[in-house]
Amino acid sequence: MIPFIKMHGCGNDYVFLDCFSNPVPKDPSTLAVNISDRNRGVGGDGLVLMMPPECSNVVARMRMFNSDGSEGSLCGNALRCMAMWLHQSGLAGLEFRIAMSDRLMPVRILHSDGQHRVARVRIEVGSPIVQNPSAAEKAMFFRKVDLSHLLLPELSHPPVFVSMGNPHTILFVRSLDALDFFTLGPAIECHPEFPNRTNVEFVEIQSVKSEASPRAKVRVWERGSGETMACGSGACAVAVAGVASRLLPNSIPIQIEMRGGNLVVIWDQFNSVFLEGPAEEAFRGFFPADIG
C-alpha cells in the first residue's frame, strides 16, 4: 500500500506522497493517472512527490504530475500545500526554498495551524518569462496570440500569452457566464500555436485600474487536467497579463477570484511575482501499490 496525503489550495487538489519516508514510485506518470481518477482512485488534479533535497540550499524538491500523467513545471497551489506540510512536519522553518523543475522557489509561512492542518503561505514565483512556441520575442514579457479563427466570446482585450515557467493563454472576456468554457478550453489548450499545449485562463475584470483593491474573476482550464477550481501559476499569469495590458495596476496586491477561492498576486517593481493563498489538508490514506 502507498500512504498518501490529500491537500488542496482553493480547491485545486492533489495527492501528495511523502518520499522522505517512503520510496519514490517507479512509474509516477501511470500512478498519477490512476490515483487522480475521481471515480476509481483517490481523486485529484494530479500527483505530487515530496522529495529530499539534492543540494544544501533547499529543504526539499517537488515533482508534480497532472491527472493525464504529464509532468508539470510549476504549480503554485501544490507548492503552498507542500510548504505547509514541510513546516508542520518539522522539516522546515518559516522561510525556506523548495526546488521544482529548473527553479528554486522561496517560501514564507504567514500563518500555520498544525492542529487543523491549515496554513497561509506566500511563494515567490519569480519573473515572468517568454516561452514563445513559434518565434523568438525575447524582449517582451507577453505576446499577443492569434486565435481569430475560433468562435471566441466577446473580448474586452486581445488574447495574451504569458509564461511563468509554464505556458498560459489569457482571454479577457466581458462575461464569464456567456462563455462556452468546455468547448474553448480544450480547443485552445491543444491549439497548433502551442505544440506543448497551454493553460487557459478566462478573465473578467471586476474593478477599474484606479480602484484601491483591483480584482479579477477567473475560470481555469488547466493543461493536462481540464477545469480546475484554482491555479496558482494561472493567477500569477492573469495578474501579469492584466498589468501589462494596462487593465490592472502594478506593485499592489491584486485579488484573483477563482471558483475554489481567492488568491493574491503582487508583481513588484523588481519584476518578481509573489503568490499568496491558503493551503489545507483534506485527509490521509493508503492506495493499492499494484494499481500504481
**Residues recognised as catalytic:** 75, 231
Chain length of the chain: 292
Burial readout 30-68 (b: 16 or more C-beta within 10 A, e: otherwise): ebbbbbbeeeebbebbbbbbbbeeeeeebbbbbbbbbbe
| CA-to-CA dists, residue 44 to 6, 58, 78, 228, angstroms | 8, 27, 11, 10
Query: Which of 61, 72, 141, 73 lies closest to 104 in space, CA to CA?
Result: 61
Phi then psi for 242, rounded to 5 degrees? -65, -40
Beta strands in the chain (DSSP E): 2-9, 12-18, 46-51, 60-66, 71-72, 95-100, 103-113, 118-126, 142-144, 160-163, 167-172, 199-205, 215-222, 226-228, 254-258, 261-267, 273-287
Residue 117 gets the label, from left (phi > 0), alpha (psi -120 to 50) or beta, of left
* Grid coordinates of 103: 527553479
The DSSP letter of residue 289 is: G
The DSSP letter of residue 187 is: H
Q: Is 211 exposed, middle or buried (0-12, 13-18, 19+ CB in 10 A)?
A: exposed
Phi then psi for 243, rounded to 5 degrees? -70, -45
